[in-house]
């Protein structure tokens, strides 16, 4: 399997936060959801992938190329959408195109104009005058107009209304349909990923807690629930992120541990959100 992104033991030390030994890989032609709560290390990882930050250790390879020594080649094939617009506010939409097109060998003006038409973005409108959703669409139009092989999205849906989010997800599915493009989609809104992601990487407090297919993740865990007096010490050890309430407890448990459970416990299929919440809870409890 050809790997679009391979990250091995990536480290970055800040005062008060360390991204520790982040390791995951994403095969070509798939969408990976990069999930974690705010401040978990998603944006730091993306900035390290883009060589916008100096790493403390580890290796980042994009299509087998080192992201530092082959930075320019990689960036010709990489498109990025951040959570907020990064064009000059006084530029018009058409000026944005004029400013960036010269940097890309495979820039396609016709395709850019096609996206403007589809997104209903007026070419003469100033960036400052665009709505939040329109700004995101402008970044997408730029990202998708130079035939990039990897699309990296850093929290693109935060602040978008449900309709705009749905449009974006449809667009991503369409973008990846030729099997040659790859998407790394960082978000803390996990509902988006249930729909489109093939792979999931969960990050919590600078550490990767899961990386693999979405199906393995969802099938690999259950939410276990029980009464207030049902939580034995041995069971507590097996549960990730126990949440106690007056009516009982709930937590995440590995599917392999469920065969020994008696019938008094309730098992439910978790959502990615459930998994993220309980893993974060476990991380907080351990600190």
Partner 1 sequence: MSNILKSVKLDHDIMKSRYLFFLIDGIGVLLAWITKVPMFGALVILVVSAPIIGQYFAVYDKNNLEKLYGILPLKKSEVVIGRYLFALCIIVINGIIAAIVAFVVSRLTHRPTGLAESLTYLSVGFAYACFTVAVIFPLYFKFSYSKVYVLSNLPFYVIFIIAFDLTRRTNLLAQADPAAQHLASNLTLPAIGFGLGLIFLALSCLLSCALVEGDQQAGARPQVQGTERRLYFADNLRTWMVILVVLQHVALLYNTLYLFMMLNQAYFMGLLFLLSGYFTPGSFKHKGPRKFLTDRLLRLGIPTLVYVFMLNPIASWGYRTMHSSATKAEVGHFALGPMWFLVMLLLFDLGYLALRTLVKNKPERQARPDSTKGLSFSAVALFMLALAAATYLLRIGVPYGIPVLDFPSLGYAAQYLSFFVIGILANRLGRLGAIPGSLGKLGFVVAILASVTLFPVAIVGSHSASLWIGYGSWQSAVFALWDAIFAVGMSLALITFFRRFFDGGKRPGRFMSGHSYIVYVIHVPIIILLTLALSGLHLQVSLKFSMAAVIGVPICFGIGWLIRKIPYVRTII
Binding site for partner 1 (CB under 8 A): 9, 47, 50-52, 54-58, 66, 68-69, 71-73, 75-76, 78-80, 82, 84-91, 95, 98-100, 102-104
Q: C-beta of 86: minimal distance to partner 1 in Å?
A: 4
φ and ψ of 145, to 5 deg: -100, 5
Q: Which is nearer to partner 1, 98 or 269 (CB)?
A: 98
DSSP state of 177: G
Give the strand pairing for 150-154 and 78-81: parallel
- Kindly state the smallest distance separating residue 152's Cβ from partner 1, in Å: 9
Instruction: Please report where in the chains the tokens 């050809």 appear, as a residue.
Output: 2
Alpha helices in 176-221 (DSSP H): 191-196, 214-220
Q: Nearest to residue 49, comparing CAs of 38, 40, 59?
A: 59
Rounded Cα gap, residues 176 and 29, in angstroms:
7
Note the residue count of the chain: 287
The closest of 58, 19, 22 to 184, measured between CA atoms, is 22
Residue (71 or 273) nearer to partner 1, CB: 71
- Closest to 60 in 3D by CA, of 48, 52, 72: 48
Of 16 and 102, the one with the shorter C-beta distance to partner 1 is: 102
Q: How far is CA 134 from CA 84, 114, 141, 164, in A?
A: 11, 15, 10, 9
Beta carbon of residue 49, minimum distance to partner 1 (angstroms, whole number): 10
Q: How far is the CB of 244 from partner 1 (least distance, A)?
A: 42
Residue closer to partner 1, measured from CB, 84 or 215: 84
- Work out whether the CA dihedral 127, 133, 136, 138 comes out positive or negative: negative
Q: Least distance from C-beta 164 to partner 1, angstroms?
A: 21
| Number of C-beta neighbours around residue 73 at 10 A | 12
d(CA 28, CA 18): 29
Q: How far is the CB of 144 from partner 1 (least distance, A)?
A: 13
Nearest distance, CB of residue 170 and partner 1, angstroms: 24
Which is nearer to partner 1, 50 or 200 (by Cβ)? 50
**CB nearer partner 1, residue 159 or residue 248:** 159
CB 208 to partner 1: min, Å: 18
Between 87 and 222, name the residue whose CB sits nearer to partner 1.
87
d(CA 220, CA 239): 13
Cβ closer to partner 1: 139 or 217?
139
């Amino acid at each position: 399997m050809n790997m679009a992104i391979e990250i091995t033991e990536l480290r970055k030390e800040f005062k008060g936060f360390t991204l520790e030994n982040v390791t995951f890989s994403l095969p070509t032609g798939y969408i990976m959801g990069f999930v974690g709560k705010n401040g978990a290390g998603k944006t730091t990882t993306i900035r390290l992938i883009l060589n916008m930050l100096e790493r403390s250790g580890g290796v980042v390879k994009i299509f087998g190329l080192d992201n530092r020594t082959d930075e320019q080649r990689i960036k010709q094939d990489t498109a990025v959408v951040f959570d907020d617009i990064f064009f000059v506010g006084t530029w018009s939409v058409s000026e944005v195109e004029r400013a960036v097109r010269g940097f890309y060998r495979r820039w396609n003006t016709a395709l850019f104009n096609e996206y403007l038409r589809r997104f209903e973005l007026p070419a003469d409108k100033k960036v400052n005058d665009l709505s939040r959703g329109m700004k995101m669409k402008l970044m997408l139009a730029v990202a998708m107009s130079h035939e990039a092989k990897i699309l990296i999205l850093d929290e693109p849906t935060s602040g978008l209304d449900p309709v705009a989010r749905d449009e974006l997800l449809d667009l991503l599915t369409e973008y990846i349909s030729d099997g040659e493009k790859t998407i790394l989609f960082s978000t803390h809104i996990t509902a988006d990923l249930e729909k489109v992601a093939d792979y999931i990487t969960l990050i919590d407090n600078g550490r990767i807690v899961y990386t693999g297919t979405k199906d393995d993740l969802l099938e690999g865990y259950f939410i276990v629930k029980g009464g207030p007096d049902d939580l034995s010490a041995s069971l507590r050890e097996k549960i990730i992120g126990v949440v106690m309430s007056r009516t009982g407890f709930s937590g995440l448990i590995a599917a392999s541990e469920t065969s020994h459970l008696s019938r008094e416990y309730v098992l439910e299929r978790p959502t990615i959100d459930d998994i993220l919440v309980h893993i974060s809870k476990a991380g907080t409890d351990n600190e």
